[in-house]
Structures are given as C-alpha cells and as structure tokens.
C-alpha cells in the first residue's frame, strides 16, 4: 500500500531493470498539503483553547448541573483528543524537517495515543451543551480520524511488503521453464 514499483514499466538503469519504491504517503506528509493540514490542526487547538478559556467559561456557568458535568467531561475529552493530534502533527513535522528520522519518530510514537473517542455523555445532554463546544468536538473528531488514517498509512508504508501469493504470470513462466528443462 502506498508504494510504486517502476520496474514493471520498463524503467532501467545500466541495462538492468531497476526497482525503485516510492512511498506516496511519505511524499504526501512532506507536501504542501500536509503543511496545510498541520496549520488546520494547530488552528483548531488554538480555537478550542480560546473558547474553553474564554466564552466557554461563561457558557458553562449558565448550564444546569447535569449538563455542566457533561460540559466538563466533553471539554476534557476535547482537550485530550487535541493534545494527541497536536503531538502527532508535531512529531510528523519534525520528521519532515529532518529533526527526527522516521525510526526515531516511530520509537517516540508510543507516547502519542491515537484512540478514537466518541461522545462520552448521553446524547440528550450533549445536545444541551453550548453550540461552540459541540462544533469543536465534532471538528476534533474528524481531525483525529484523518490523523489516524495518515498514521495507519505511514505504518503500512514502513512495513515490508510480502507477496500474498505468487503472480499468475510468474507461476506460468516457472511451469514453462520446468517443461523445457526436461
């Protein structure tokens, strides 16, 4: 997944077929698209912090007790989720900028726990939460899903490729070789 072997298309070097594997996910994470994704993620972290430290405090004071408890729970989960995302984004940026090798990032990755978190409180309580907190919660969940997809793609690109079965053409060529060898 995420690799391209150009030897199948006749690319050759010094008269012999050359096998060059290009990891598209690594190209993508080093691209302008990733830089935009990084900015989007960090902007969401800043927006959430500004809300929770500002208008969110006022919003939470006006809530009835069970909804105020739901607010506290969801704001804590929002903060945790965004810290996980920010940690992953910063780690990936360090790799892109050459501050860490991919191997160093992989060894540091155990500190970043990317786990999908759904809404913790009952839906009727969540629906009573201030609209900005609801919006930030959903945006952070979508962002986390995208980060998890990137992370899984990077892990798959790092894993050595193992053929699942011999190609049909290769097995036919082998049968022909064996037939003419006798």
CATH of 25-160, one of 1.10.8.930, 1.10.3080.10, 3.30.70.260, 3.90.1150.10: 1.10.8.930
pTM of the model: 0.69
Per-residue pLDDT tens over the stretch 41-69: 999 999 999 999 999 999 999 999 999 99
Q: Residue 88 is inside which H or E element, if any?
A: helix 65-96
Per-residue pLDDT tens over the stretch 86-133: 999 999 898 888 888 877 877 776 677 777 878 888 899 999 999 999
Residue count of the chain, please give it: 182
Closest Cα to residue 136, out of 67, 57, 43? Answer: 43
Beta strands in the chain (DSSP E): 3-5, 12-13, 16-17, 21-23
């Amino acid at each position: 997944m995420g690799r391209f072997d150009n030897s199948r298309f006749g690319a050759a070097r010094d008269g012999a077929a050359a096998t060059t594997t290009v990891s598209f996910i690594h190209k993508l994470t080093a691209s302008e698209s990733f830089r935009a994704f990084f900015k989007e993620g960090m902007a969401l972290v800043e927006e959430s912090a500004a809300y929770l430290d500002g208008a969110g405090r006022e919003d939470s004071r006006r809530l009835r007790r069970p909804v105020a408890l739901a607010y506290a729970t969801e704001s804590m989960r929002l903060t945790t989720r965004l810290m996980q995302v920010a940690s992953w984004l910063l780690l990936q940026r360090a790799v892109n900028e050459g501050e860490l090798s991919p191997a160093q990032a992989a060894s540091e990755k155990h500190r970043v726990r990317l786990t999908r978190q759904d809404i913790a409180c009952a839906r009727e309580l969540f629906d009573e939460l201030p609209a900005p907190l609801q919006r930030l919660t959903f945006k952070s969940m979508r962002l986390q899903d995208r980060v998890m997809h990137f992370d899984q793609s990077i892990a798959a690109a790092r894993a050595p490729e193992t053929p699942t079965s011999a190609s049909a053409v290769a097995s036919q060529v082998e049968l022909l070789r064996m037939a003419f060898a006798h």
